[in-house]
Structure 1
Amino acid sequence: MSEQNPRTSPWLIAGRVIFTLALIGCIAFIFSNSMQIGVVSEGASGRVLRLVQRVLTRLGMPGLASHITMHFIRKLAHFCEYALEGFLLMLCLRVYTRHFVRHMSWPILGGLLTALTDETIQLFSPGRSSQVLDVWLDFMGVLAGLLVGLFLLALCRMCALLYKHRNED
């Protein structure tokens, strides 16, 4: 007697394609930023700094706006892009396995390797430098993104269970 394999849901296949492409796009974005020469990278950070300062000023916080520095913006950008990568790593892990908590070491390792590669790329970009502290900051971003993804997946699971059992009492 042969065992029948259940068909993979088209929604699951779509999720795999979408989340995998989003993750690849995120990593490409991270690496493309690292390949920018120092002057271009500083110009982009300067535009973001001015935007943040304008927003904070309009929100009635001119004192805070004057204390935001280019250094802070650059570090925040590192953290945010890696948090997005961590979030997408968690979503990818979830659509490829039901036992995603058991396999958490894979996205953690993937995030760390991305951070190390990113800083290595910066060694070869004119006007840029590589810092061990940035690897740690990037890795903390990955972990934060993974935790946010894990929390949202748990929340969705809880909501689904509550919805499924809503009329049992």
Structure 2
Amino acid sequence: MVKLDRKWALAACAMVLVIWGNSLVPGSGSGSLSLSIMESIRGFLQALGLPYEWVTNFVVRKCAHFTEYMVLGILATHAFDLEGRRTFDVLLPTAVFLLLVPSIDETIQLFVPGRAGMITDVMIDCCGATAGVVLRYLLRSLINTKKAA
């Protein structure tokens, strides 16, 4: 049986609520937020004299998916595997959790005006979550290596 770390589980649940809350925002509100972020990034890059045309609303939205799920992956890994055991009995529930959350997230969007649930977004979300899990284990390994040295 998996033993959850309560504070990290609470943090992961809070992140899920943030993610699902974002999915409840109608398409017009979500789109205007993405556009304002896009314009800010473009302005910043332009001020630095860097190419900025590549920053599109699509890129901003997909990066947001990846990033929020990367954070969730880190939090969930802490919640399910605080000791860094990386065993099947720990990784399986973590993986199931990190697959269910984006699947539910995209299902929520099917019922929100101006939004659409997309399997590609579930895949991007899962890639972000996987990156978070890997990042968390890599950082833990680095910290343990430094402690041992």
- Return the TM-score normalized by structure 1: 0.80
TM superposition shift of 1:18 = 3.4
Counterpart in 2 of 1:88?
75
Alpha-carbon distance in structure 1 between the residues aligned to 2:75 and 2:101: 13
- Aligned equivalent of 1:108, options 82, 95, 108: 95
Runs of 5+ unmatched residues, structure 1 = 1-15, 163-169
Structure 2 equivalent of residue 35 of structure 1: 24
Q: How far apart are 1:98 and its partner, in Å? A: 5.3
Q: TM-score, normalised by structure 2?
A: 0.90
CA-based RMSD of the aligned residues comes to 1.6
Contact 1:93 1:100 in 2 (8 A): no
Deviations 1:64-120 (A, max 9, x none): 31221101110110000001100111122232x553444212211111100100000
Q: Which of 68, 82, 85 is matched with 1:99 structurally? A: 85
2:121 counterpart of 1:134: yes
Displacement over 6 Å in runs of 4+: none
Task: Name the count of aligned residue pairs.
Answer: 145
The alignment status of 1:125 with 2:116, answered yes or no, reads no
Partner of 1:76: 63
**Equivalent-residue separation in structure 2 for 1:90 and 1:155 (angstroms):** 16
**Secondary structure of 1:66 counterpart:** coil
Q: Whose relative contact order is higher, 1 or 2, with alpha carbons under 8 Å and at least 6 apart?
A: 2
Preserved contact between residue 102 and residue 122 of structure 2 (Cα < 8 Å): yes
Q: Which of the numbers 27, 36, 57 marks the counterpart of 2:46?
A: 57
Report which of the two structures shows the higher radius of gyration computed on alpha carbons. Answer: 1
The offset of 1:17, in angstroms, is 4.1
Question: How far off its partner does 1:51 sit?
Answer: 1.3
1:67 to 54, 63, 68: 54
Structure 1, 111-120 or 65-74: larger mean CA deviation: 65-74
Identify unmatched segments of 5+ residues in structure 2.
none
The separation in 1 between residues aligned to 2:146 and 2:24, in whole angstroms, is 43
Is 1:161 aligned to residue 148 of structure 2?
yes
